[in-house]
Structure 1
Amino acid sequence: MKNFPDNFLWGAAMSAPQTEGQSSNFGKTATIWDHWFQTAPEKFYHHQGPEITSDVYDHYLEDCENMQAIGLNSLRTSISWARLLPDGKTVNPEAVAFYRRYFSAMRDHGVEPIINLFHFDTPMWLMARGGWENRESIDAFAFYARTAFELFDDLVNKWTTFNEPLVHVECGYLYQYHYPAVVDFKRAVQVGYHTLLAHKAAVKAFKEVTQTGEIGIILNISPTYSKSDTEADVLAAQRSDLLNTRSFLDPAVLGTIPDELLILLKENELMPATKSEDHALIKGNIVDFIGLNYYQPRRVQAQEKPKTPAQMPDDFYQPYDWPDKRINPHRGWEIYPEALYDVAMMMKNDYHNKPWYVSENGMGVAAEETFMNANGEIEDDYRIAFMKEHLSYLHQGIREGSNCFGYHAWTFVDCWSWLNGYKNRYGFYRLDLATRKRSVKKSGRWMKQVSENNGF
């Protein structure tokens, strides 16, 4: 039996844009996803857009009952910025009423809400002013954060500012998976810098509004493993970690941007525009906890033909195809649960053993109906095996002193996933797209046992 610490959080993670639905109703204005689907629907899998998704807006009470039914004691989701502040300034009373009903229902069913503020859903009114490239985005986000804290402080004890801030940077400004689908390394760095400052400004606002809750940030962590111990491969791995892990984790927990990262940016003419007051904002406003999303490792080797100055991150390192890897064929991602132990040790040894939790971990599978039994239940033993392996390595890290307080799977109910729509399913509950009916999968019943036993 692998027992976990007392009061361990067993839960799931979701987001407003991927589950809420009612994307153009009840006072909400457009986000980049609404706009992109309207202007380029062919980019979206099976033309599945953001309007309805999982329709949590109309099913939240049923969902809270279902959370309780499978033993979840916590759930992370997000508020839609464009719903709460449709023009960036004016509070939408319909949004306030909805979120208060939703968060209250969670609490009534024994589920602690962990509420995130931004999950890739930039409002179009902000994009019209330059989006995250415009320094005004910092104050705009801080105002939104303060508004949310003041409106929901009595219902929410744990807040986070951004989910995977690096993803909205690289997908929007390097790899064309998010709108505005720009490919420009220097602009990407500027967007990342403003995002970091917006996070810090939100933490500052939180400390001014309340002294009772906790605030953190959700970061995606793909530990880097080098092909070999040669100097060139090790340097490639170090640069990968600088860009992909330490760029946000160091400022969030330690209050510093790594000197090595600043040198790398300067050498490659990538430094963002800054102001003198930024240093104090970054140095202070340290998070109370960290959420870390882990799905797959990053394996790299030295770049054979780097460009100088660098035009893309892979000018600093290139992928290494490890011949012994296991792959989830539906996502093309490596399955490497051992990395979760390495993450636990990284937090213990390099980040003052700051309280943290696994804020996302899961397995996306296409055509899950092929695993449906005669009773109509998805027998997702592959997902149970995936979680067991990862939890085993997490348990080892906790036993060795890492200060981890929870595990959240992605996700509670099958959700819409950006350009991929509903291609890959992740939920404890299956979603019927025609009826929006929810039905528990085998993994949901397994999670109930894990939660009740506080281990497995």
Structure 2
Amino acid sequence: MLTFPDGFLWGAATAAHQIEGNNVNSNWWVHENAPGTTIVEPSGDAADSYNRFRDDIRLLAELGLNSYRFSIEWARIEPERGMVSKAQVAHYRRMVETCHEFGIEPIVTLMHFTVPRWFERDGFWRAPDAADLFARYTELALPVVAEGVNYVCTINEPNIAAMLAGGEDASNLVAYGLPNPDLEVADALLASHKRSREVLSQLPQIKSGWTVATQAFKAVDEPGAAEKTREYGYVRDDWYSEMAAGDDFVGVQAYTQTFVGPEGPRPVAEGLETTLTGWEFYPPAAAEGIRSAWELSGHVPVMVTENGIATADDTRRIAYTQGALEHIHDTIDEGIEVLGYQHWSALDNYEWASGFRPTFGLIGWDRETFERTPKPSARWYGEVARANGLPRA
């Protein structure tokens, strides 16, 4: 048995727009429903978790998990610029209280890709007052996290957000290459993160950080590949972990690896197992992300805030997670402070431009009735969490 540290946070993660449904004031809702969109389908009702969050949290607790990472939706809290919905603040506060009712540690994300449509209309992250507006939103969200919340993720995957803002096809995010990031947006996201942390510091119990989509870029053994890998990877990955220096923790979100030649990233080699997103099946990804974030941040504590695979074969989800946790345990043995593991995802969800086809969830649900069905992987993972340990494969 591989035993994990006392207090290790065993959980699962979701994002509001991907499971709540009818997030009509968000920028993504606009894009999903725009004429001629390349997004394969709109989110619609999604998993209706806005109305069913209590059942979802209860189910996670019954499975044996002790934490839940979820996001709150800026577009609900501030649907129009300067217009604040007290009802939506109260809704998200009820989610925190429900977590505690069922013995679940809430881990709250303030921004998981989506923003209010007015924020995008008024300049998005390029607006000169973007950081001010995000700080104001953080102030509005303080009642949600004022009591009973110890961990807040300010911005989810700012490196992906900067790449999306670069204006290239979002479908590149599920292929072997990644779009060019908008470096101005990257700087704005960093400024927004820092301003948000300043606001959160009013609450002494809060530990805050942002979450980085670590990529495990690796150079092939060819002239020029190592230099290209450093150049390609720094602006898409490493810089964001470096900027986490001084934060309370850094989130690592890892799924696969990518090989880079002198010409740039290469497709997954023929014959290797891939997931429904086209990524290589690569369980060591999370551990490699942990080591990278730990070193680049100057030894800031790490939480795995996302890790999992999109698959229709749940036995492969178990195999992937078993391998991932074995490698994560190795990093703990190496002396790295790893706070917890949040599996992506609690529920099958709306996977952005790919729609509902990629199934990442530990829990499935019926598209007509929304009835939840835990998969065997959920039962397996719950037993690991209850034991705070992993049987050796």
Shorter-chain TM-score tier: over 0.9
Give the partner amino acid of 2:251. G
Q: Does residue 201 of structure 1 match 2:161?
A: no
Give runs of aligned pairs for residues 240-319 of structure 1, distance below 5 A.
Answer: 240-253=232-245, 286-303=246-263, 318-319=264-265
Match of 2:386 in 1: 452
Give the partner amino acid of 2:357. K
- Change over 3 Å in CA distance of 1:226–1:449 after alignment to 2: same
- Check conservation: 1:9, 1:405, Cα contact below 8 A: yes
Q: Does residue 192 of structure 1 match 2:138?
A: no
Give the partner amino acid of 1:17. H
Please report how far the alpha carbon of residue 246 of structure 1 lies from its aligned counterpart in structure 2 after TM superposition.
2.2
Rounded to whole Å, the distance in 2 between the matches of 1:347 and 1:402 is 10
Please report how far the alpha carbon of residue 413 of structure 1 lies from its aligned counterpart in structure 2 after TM superposition.
1.2
Question: 1:349-391: CA deviations, max 9, x gaps?
Answer: 44332111111111102xx3xx6xxxxxxxx111000000111
Match of 1:278 in 2: none
Q: Does residue 337 of structure 1 match 2:283?
A: yes
Match of 2:330 in 1: 396
SS in 1 for 2:318: helix
Rounded to whole Å, the distance in 2 between the matches of 1:411 and 1:322 is 23
Rounded to whole Å, the distance in 2 between the matches of 1:169 and 1:348 is 22
Rounded to whole Å, the distance in 2 between the matches of 1:350 and 1:69 is 37
Rounded to whole Å, the distance in 1 between the matches of 2:293 and 2:345 is 24
Question: 1:297-329: CA deviations, max 9, x gaps?
Answer: 1211112xxxxxxxxxxxxxx113464873324
Give the partner amino acid of 1:33. W
Match of 2:308 in 1: 362
Please report how far the alpha carbon of residue 125 of structure 1 lies from its aligned counterpart in structure 2 after TM superposition.
0.7
Match of 1:108 in 2: 101
Give the alignment partner of residue 432 of structure 1, picking from 336, 344, 366. Answer: 366
Give runs of aligned pairs for residues 44-443 of structure 1, distance below 5 A.
Answer: 44-45=39-40, 47=41, 49-177=42-170, 188-207=182-201, 209-228=202-221, 230=223, 232-253=224-245, 286-303=246-263, 318-321=264-267, 323=269, 326-365=272-311, 368=312, 380-443=314-377
Displaced runs of 4 or more, over 6 A: none
Match of 2:17 in 1: 17
Rounded to whole Å, the distance in 2 between the matches of 1:131 and 1:97 is 26
SS in 2 for 1:292: strand
Rounded to whole Å, the distance in 1 between the matches of 2:229 and 2:253 is 19
- Check conservation: 1:325, 1:334, Cα contact below 8 A: no
Please report how far the alpha carbon of residue 137 of structure 1 lies from its aligned counterpart in structure 2 after TM superposition.
1.0
Rounded to whole Å, the distance in 2 between the matches of 1:335 and 1:355 is 26
Please report how far the alpha carbon of residue 289 of structure 1 lies from its aligned counterpart in structure 2 after TM superposition.
0.3
**Which deviates more, 338-347 or 96-105?**
338-347
**Which deviates more, 396-405 or 89-98?**
89-98
Rounded to whole Å, the distance in 1 between the matches of 2:36 and 2:268 is 36
- Check conservation: 1:33, 1:121, Cα contact below 8 A: yes
Q: Does residue 33 of structure 1 match 2:28?
A: yes
Identity over the aligned pairs, expressed in percent? 28
Aligned length: 384
Larger radius of gyration: 1
Give the partner amino acid of 2:259. R
Please report how far the alpha carbon of residue 184 of structure 1 lies from its aligned counterpart in structure 2 after TM superposition.
9.8
Please report how far the alpha carbon of residue 150 of structure 1 lies from its aligned counterpart in structure 2 after TM superposition.
4.1
5+ residue gaps, structure 1: 25-29, 254-285, 304-317, 372-379
- Check conservation: 1:82, 1:88, Cα contact below 8 A: no
5+ residue gaps, structure 2: 172-177
- Check conservation: 2:153, 2:209, Cα contact below 8 A: yes
- Change over 3 Å in CA distance of 1:157–1:325 after alignment to 2: farther
- Check conservation: 1:139, 1:201, Cα contact below 8 A: yes
Please report how far the alpha carbon of residue 341 of structure 1 lies from its aligned counterpart in structure 2 after TM superposition.
3.3
Match of 1:264 in 2: none
Please report how far the alpha carbon of residue 171 of structure 1 lies from its aligned counterpart in structure 2 after TM superposition.
2.2
**Which deviates more, 31-40 or 101-110?**
31-40
Rounded to whole Å, the distance in 1 between the matches of 2:373 and 2:179 is 43
- Change over 3 Å in CA distance of 1:426–1:352 after alignment to 2: same
